[in-house]
Amino acid sequence: METLYSAESFGNLARWIVRGRGPLTSNVAEAAAFLRSSETLPAPDVELIFAPVLFEDEGLSRPSQHGVTIAAVLLQPRSVGEFGEVRLSSTSDQTVVVDPRYLTDPTGEDIAVLVRGLRRARQIAGIPPLSDYVREELLPRGAAVSDDDLIAHIRERSQTLYHPVGTCRLGTGGAPWSMRSYVSTGSRGCESSTPR
């Protein structure tokens, strides 16, 4: 089975240029499913995203081998609002530290939903015809079966999906679309909230 592992080749580039076909036409997230992690929920709380490539190092490095990814995405996180923090690392160092404090909701429901999502992803990977192509589970590995094992994996490997759902105004006033720096000299920020 060809995956995006081998997409960056001269042959695939030629196939894309001449025919508009091949792995370079992929949008990476080839399929998605919106699921309820519990039958009692009124709406989905988990998204499963399928990609025909191993998503390693947040997609910043070449995949290490052929493979697929089924990612569980938390749709309605409870770890929001006052839990996140943006600060300078120290008064002498102007490095900005962003701590979104993922998976810090006091109820633990965010983690519980992701455990259920991960279990569902495993279930789907084990059903033909997909299971015909899956040789082994690389992450979190098949030995990780208990809730504690899966929670440890989720805490170690979870990351953003790169399109947060909220914005806030920067600074204390001025034009809503300004690029003025309110933090330190030389830094820039883009205010992206909708003016009211």
List the catalytic residues.
Answer: 163
| Residue 25 neighbours by CB under 8 Å, 6+ apart | 16
Spatial contact of 82 and 153, defined as CB atoms under 8 Å apart: no
Q: How far is CA 93 from the centre of its chain?
A: 30
Task: Tell me the C-alpha distance between 30 and 146, whole Å.
Answer: 29
Pick from 151, 113, 109: which is nearest to 37 by CA? 113
**24 token code pair:** 């370079």
Tell me how far CA of residue 130 lies from CA of 90, 123, 127, 152, 162, in angstroms: 50, 11, 6, 26, 27
